[in-house]
Amino acid sequence: MKKGVLFFLSLLIFSCSKPSGNNNPVIQPVIPDPDPEQYGIPFSGVPSAQDATIYQVNMRTFSASGNFQGVVARLDSIKALGANVIYLMPIYPVGALNSVNSPYCVKDYKAVNTEFGNLNDLRAVVDSAHSRNMSVILDWVANHTAWDNAWITSNKSWYLQDGAGNVVSPPGMGWNDVAQLNFANADMRLAMIKAMKYWVYTANIDGFRCDYSDGPPVDFWKQAIDTLRNITTHKLLLLAEGTRSTNFSAGFDLNFGFGFFGQLKSIYSAGQSVLTIDGLNNTEYTGATAGKQVVRYITNHDVNGSDGTPLELFGGKTGSMAAFVVAAYMKSVPMIYNGQEVGTPIRLTFPFTSTKINWTINPDVTAEYKQVIAFRNNSQAVRRGTLLSYSNPDVCVFTKQDGTEKVLVLANLRNNTINYSLPSALANTNWQDVMNGGSVTLTTQLSLPPYTYRVLKL
């Protein structure tokens, strides 16, 4: 609703405390709870989905202080890496009842976890990011709350209950530290949406990454997103951590590439065909219209601890860079998990409390990430161009073209040298080497050492 405007509803209530002289009751209008005042100036530089490069911050491990101030101190480094969207993992108070100290166990949707600082500290992150032309999105946990969230005692009907009337955890998930919300309850939905709007106004954020978005029903997300889009002063970027194609029709800009990550692991560890990526380029984009995208990654906060680091999963420094180039260039929006860019060799395990990232290691890895991301940021063809795949079972090969700009990527995803036979469309052509400089003439064969990639342009 518009700021500062009070809407008088047709429904009126009677007040018995101050009768008028003729003993008629005084009629008072019901005034709806207004939205908060807007903090700061809404950021005009939020990128479109195709142009985003997302950087995930896990505050507990990100800095020695483990708080918002630690994020502000490294914003220049994130900017230098080439990211333009900072995604903060949940910043809300964590529940204590049945807790494992997970930030996805939200005790209060409208408060800041004092472990990280206060509202002004969060605003400092957002303001400082905006001043560097970077957006900030918050992690939103809509499916469930902490067991000691005030909603449970004040509005038990807002929660899913068993036959005996006991509030239950999300069925079949094993998440016993949280309580499942009831999306059949209209009042709960409105309270949830109001809480999302609160952060847009109160902290001037630029969108949300919505955790376990395949849990809440699609019609809830459409209701929420339609409401958020009506905040016309803000351009919001909305990421679904889910795989449903209906997430796109509900209004999300971005869906999560779970399938791509899983398939990439199988290619590296089990020798599955690289051609399977071509199938994902279709299935993961079902329902994606008007520039909507899939986010692809080689690590994040979940899989880093459970599955392994990129170095473990994808062949060390060299192999993981080849994997990242495919994730960043082929058909996606790339997401970088903090510490990935310095080749962190140890897992940042749940619940994210014990390990701090060493930012001084592997400067060669950081330099390579900067180079790869910078080219993506500067290439309209990579970000928005038409994809043609020339892959074989061992090598991921594709072109991206937009107008006269054409880019060719070749990535050997095997730990042995592959002799790639170029198709007629690529054979006997001349290119510029993006990463190494100089010109390259392709004939009919190209030898690619283990886990190497080439990026060429016309």
Model pTM score: 0.92
Lowest mean pLDDT among 22-26, 374-378, 394-398: 22-26
pLDDT at res. 221: 98
CA distance 86 to 58: 11
Residues 154-174 have a mean pLDDT of: 98
Q: Which residues pair with 335 in a beta bridge?
A: 54
- Predicted local confidence at residue 349, as pLDDT: 86
Query: Which CATH class, in words, describes the domain spanning 49-383?
Result: alpha beta
Q: How far apart are CA 295 and CA 280, in angstroms?
A: 12
Say whether pLDDT at 24 is over 60: no
Mean pLDDT of 373-390: 98
Give the whole-number percent of the chain exceeding pLDDT 70.
93
* Whether the Cβ atoms of residue 213 and residue 240 lie closer than 8 Å to each other: yes
Q: What is the mean pLDDT of residues 247-261?
A: 98
| 351 upstream amide cis, omega within 30 of 0 | yes
pLDDT over 90 (residue 3): no
Q: State the alpha helices, DSSP H only, in 132-217.
A: 150-154, 186-202
Whether residue 255 has pLDDT greater than 70: yes
Whether the domain at 49-383 and the domain at 395-457 fall into the same CATH topology: no
One of 3.40.640.10, 3.40.50.1220, 3.40.50.300, 2.60.40.1180 is the CATH number of 395-457, namely: 2.60.40.1180
The predicted pLDDT at position 56 comes to 98
- Which tens digit of pLDDT belongs to each residue from 324-369? 999 999 999 999 999 999 999 999 988 877 899 999 999 999 999 9
pLDDT(192) > 90: yes
For the chain, give the mean pLDDT.
93
Q: Taking residues 432-444, report their average pLDDT.
A: 97
Show me where the domains of the chain are located: 49-383, 395-457
